[in-house]
Amino acid sequence: MTGPTRILSGSIAALITPFSGGKVDHQALSRFVQWQIKSGTHGLVPCGTTGESPTLDEDEHLSVIHAVVTAASGQVPVIAGTGSNNTAHAIHLTREAESLGADAALVVTPYYNRPTQEGLYLHFRAIAEATRLPIIIYNIPGRSSVDMSVETMARLAKIKNIIGVKDATGALQRVTQQRLACGENFVQLSGEDGTALGFNAHGGVGCISVTANVAPRLCADFQTACLSGHWQDALALQDRLMPLHDVLFSETSPGPVKYAASVLGHCEPETRLPLAPITETTRAKVRAALIAAGLTNA
């Protein structure tokens, strides 16, 4: 390995957590992971927002990480979601993920507390110092209500095992700014499927993708085209995927993507409250987008 980008790049699926009867469906999850890998997905993120981590209790959270690590069996990296707005709890989850065999941790900026930039720096430094796992910062101001500045990220990039960012700010200039501030080896992964083409053009190396849950081959081919500099091929795939990217966020995620996965036969469409079942109008739009992308005929 010559750098972390050799491992953490390409199409990385932000995995849904299948439920059945209110409980985690571990059999469906294991089958889903195996299908993802066979379909070309380059990495897996269990227990992110798409995996409904806010509604998983700790036993469920750790059991999902364990199930994904086991099913992946070292074939692709597993980046476990271990973030919390409680620093001590984030440290605990990260250490547990390390003991379960995760390859890295995805740590969201603390939500609701709204820490200062110094608070963000101290939070991530404390987590990094408590583990040997590589840490990916997850910067998503739309959900956490706090935005990590480029300057703070550059400070954190000096810590050996803080190796990159999942950037869901939607501000494409950030990619260049962060690359210049944090260095070429700092892994930058998009957190938005729709802007991943521009993100990669600015120097990003992949996407932690919601759409990859239902279009893993197309998303993997898209990322491979970007990383190979085949921008016309990437643009054609972007055009094919864009209606799906849009509809999967027509209601709060992961409602639409779970329904899409159910249409493809991978799981039940079940989410946990406070997420309500998606409307029939949205269901029809999801089915139409799946058909348009060539993923199903009905």
For residue 123, being part of any structural domain is answered with yes
Out of 121, 166, 258, 259, which one is annotated catalytic? Answer: 166
Return d(Cα 130, Cα 260) in angstroms, integer.
Answer: 38
Residue 106 in any domain: the answer is: yes
Q: What pLDDT does residue 6 have?
A: 45
The number of distinct structural domains making up the chain is 1
Q: Is residue 296 part of a domain?
A: no
At 112 the pLDDT is 92
Q: 7-39 in b/e burial notation, b at 16+ Cβ within 10 A?
A: bbbbbbbbbbbbbeeeebbbebbbbbbeebbeb
Let me know if 38 is a catalytic residue: no
The residues of the chain scoring below 70 in pLDDT are 1-6, 298
Q: What is the pLDDT of residue 298?
A: 67
Give CA–CA dist 289/129, Å, rounded. Answer: 44
Separation between Cα atoms, residue 243 and residue 233, nearest integer Å: 17
Q: What is the mean pLDDT of the chain?
A: 96
What CATH number has the domain bearing residue 79? 3.20.20.70
Is residue 56 assigned to a domain? yes
- Note the pLDDT of residue 297: 85
Is 166 known to be catalytic? yes
- Among the listed residues 138, 258, 259, 285, the single catalytic one is 138
Q: Is the pTM of this model over 0.85?
A: yes
Task: Domain of residue 133: give its range.
Answer: 4-230
User: 287 in a domain, yes or no?
Assistant: no
